[in-house]
Amino acid sequence: MRELDETDRELLRLLLEDGRAAYTELADVVGLSPPAVSDRIDRLRELGVIERFTINVDRSRLHNGDRIAVTLGVTPGETATVREALTDVTGIEYVFVTADSRLFVVGTFAGGDVESALAPAFETDVVEGITVSPLTGSDWHPALGDATLGLECVECGNRVTAEGVSATIDGERYEFCCDSCRGRFEDRYEELSEDVRDGSTRV
């Protein structure tokens, strides 16, 4: 499967609404057998379209701090540095990166103490500005529309179409736009593996 059809999109919509839905329920809606639904979901997971199944928490029924939106202006080219610094910060729910070198952060911070919570970001010395806004509500409306797969060939970077191929190497799945790219990648991978086994490095 290199393209999403309407059945795939419908399964994704249903799982976005309820990630715990039974395969028998999903099968009734999309007109497939439960094993066929299971196969499709397995393929979507293998392709990385589905990363994990999770829950949607009603935060209005919980309280462990103030929910705040923070916009960080960052030195151009350094957004990855700040994003990495925020990886293990307790309370952060989302980090969005914009094309104009800003990070939009949503999190819940005890006592509204954003400065202390985001200290790792400020320690990078590449944060140039900050805007803080308390959140009073939120809605989540996941939508797929007519989404298609956006897989890229790991060898050349071209889009992987229906003619693409995949290979599992050392337990990891890779996607390629053609057999030639797969062959080049596998040859280089084997060469590098031999270098490691021989304890040598080739330039």
Are 107 and 89 within 8 A, CB to CB? yes
Are 111 and 118 within 8 A, CB to CB? no
pLDDT tens digits, residue range 128-171? 999 999 988 877 777 777 777 778 889 998 988 878 888 888 88
pLDDT tens digits, residue range 28-53? 999 999 999 999 999 898 888 888 88
Q: Where are the domains of the chain?
A: 1-49, 63-134, 150-203
Q: Is the dihedral of CA 77, 82, 85, 87 positive or negative?
A: negative
| 92-97/66-74 β-pairing | unpaired
List the structure tokens of 203: 């330039």
Say what the pLDDT of residue 2 is: 63
* Element containing residue 58 per DSSP (H, E): none
Does the pLDDT value for residue 110 go beyond 90? Answer: no
Does the pLDDT value for residue 81 go beyond 90? Answer: yes
Q: How sure is the predictor about 203, in pLDDT bands with cuts at 50, 70 and 90?
A: very low
Under CATH, which architecture does the 63-134 domain have? 2-Layer Sandwich (3.30)
Domain 1-49 identical in fold to domain 63-134? no
Q: In angstroms, rounded to a whole number, what is the distance separating the alpha carbons of residues 4 and 180?
A: 24
Are 155 and 181 within 8 A, CB to CB? yes
Q: What CATH code would you report for 1-49? A: 1.10.10.10
